[in-house]
Amino acid sequence: MTNPKTFIIFIGPAGSGKSTLVYAYSRWLEEVVGIKTYKVNLDPAAEYIPYEPDLDIRYLVNADKIAREFGLGPNGALVKAMDKIAENIGDIVNMFSNSDSELVLIDTPGQMEVFLFRDIAFKLVEQLRKVSKNIVSIFVLDADVIKRYEDYAFLSIISVAVQIRLGVDVIPVINKIDLTPIDNIVGDVISDVDIVTKNLKGLGVYGEMLKEILNIIALYSKATRVPKVSAKNFIGLEELHRIVHEITCACGDLT
Ligand SMILES: Nc1nc2c(ncn2[C@@H]2O[C@H](COP(=O)(O)OP(=O)(O)O)[C@@H](O)[C@H]2O)c(=O)[nH]1
Ligand SMILES: [Mg+2]
């Protein structure tokens, strides 16, 4: 029996490195693990994509074309494009759900708000669920954002918000560690809630609230480790894959 498909949805702010991570992770999977992935570009306004998409939404719904047709600016065109994708998401998912690859990587628009704050977010997951229950999201944040313990809390909370919105497990990932030596700031304790909560000082009532929230997240969240990666330099991809595997695969923990 073949393994059920795993879908991985990459989400994060513009420029955090989603598309670069799709490229690096897919190459790493192919070369190191021997898994051929299927790559979907769901960004109708992408100007440059570092990987070769197997399905490129720009050929079906193109933001530039919509801007010209309806006389819209870039934001209006992107919103319209995403709504059009949402309307047709059943057909779009059908296009890639029969691919041979057991792993499908789905890249979302640079501006995460047009994905997360529109129907497309949960409609996509709704359709993917008809194919497989192995769906996980990777939330990518630039290492430059994580300078203080409260920034770690921010990453955890925003990942949970994404989890609630999509209804799938979310793995928070810190990217571009080649540029920012975050070990000097929160280091390897980043996944240790006790240490983080002890270091949330001087925040008054917000600090107390954060401690409670982080402990609850640690209690319920499946992805308790936060992989630190460099999509550019292929660092941390093994740890990322281990966590993806732990969450999506019935065969359990690889560690
Ligand atoms: N130094 C460094 N740059 C990166 C890394 N990942 C992505 N970038 C750069 O960050 C910019 C935005 O990356 P991109 O993947 O397009 O971001 P997206 O908008 O989230 O898809 C590009 O110039 C990438 O080359 C990384 O790990 N290290
Ligand atoms: Mg991108």
Beta partners for residue 235, in sequence order: 230
Q: How far is the CA of 16 from the centre of ligand 1 (A)?
A: 6
Q: Please list the ranges in the chain whose pLDDT falls under 70.
A: 1-3, 182-192, 223-224, 250-255
Q: Which domain holds residue 44?
A: 6-248
Return the amino acid letter for 120: I
Q: Ligand 1 site: residues with CB under 6 angstroms?
A: 12, 14-20, 110, 175-176, 178-179, 230-232
Q: Domain for residue 92, yes or no? A: yes
Q: Which atom of ligand 1 is nearest to the CA of 175?
A: 27
Supply the pLDDT for residue 253.
41
* Predicted pLDDT at 92: 96
Which strands sit side by side in the sheet containing 169-175, from one edge to the other? Answer: 55-56, 37-41, 103-107, 6-11, 135-142, 169-175
pTM to 2 decimal places: 0.92
pLDDT at residue number 98: 85
Contacts of 60 (CB under 8 A, 6+ apart): 85, 88, 92
| Substitution candidate for ligand 1 out of 16, 18, 20 with most atoms within 8 A of CB | 20
Of 224, 227, 248, 251, the closest CA to residue 25 belongs to 227
pLDDT of 252 reads 40
Domain count within the chain: 1
Span from the CA of 197 to the centroid of ligand 1 (angstroms):
30
pLDDT score at 182: 61
What CATH number does the domain containing 226 carry?
Answer: 3.40.50.300
Residue 17 is assigned to a structural domain of this protein: yes
Is 239 inside any structural domain?
yes
CA separation, residue 97 to residues 40, 43, 53, 90 (Å): 11, 18, 15, 10
Residue with token string 């897919």: 26
Q: Which helix (H) or strand (E) holds 152?
A: helix 149-166
Beta bridge partners of 175: 142
**Closest ligand 1 atom to the C-alpha of 233?**
27
Closest-lying ligand 1 atom to the alpha carbon of residue 23? 15
Which pLDDT does position 186 carry in this prediction?
54
Whether residue 73 lies inside any domain: the answer is yes
**Residue carrying structure tokens 């209804």:** 167
pLDDT, tens digit, 9 for 90 and up, residues 178-192: 998 766 455 554 556
Give pLDDT, residue 109: 93
In a domain? residue 1: no
CB atoms within 10 A of CB 117: 13
Within-domain flag for 255:
no
Is 134 a domain residue? yes
Which pLDDT value is given to residue 149?
82
Among the atoms of ligand 1, which is closest to the Cα of residue 22?
A: 15
> 191 near 138, Cβ under 8 Å?
no
Closest residue to atom 11 of ligand 1, CA basis: 15
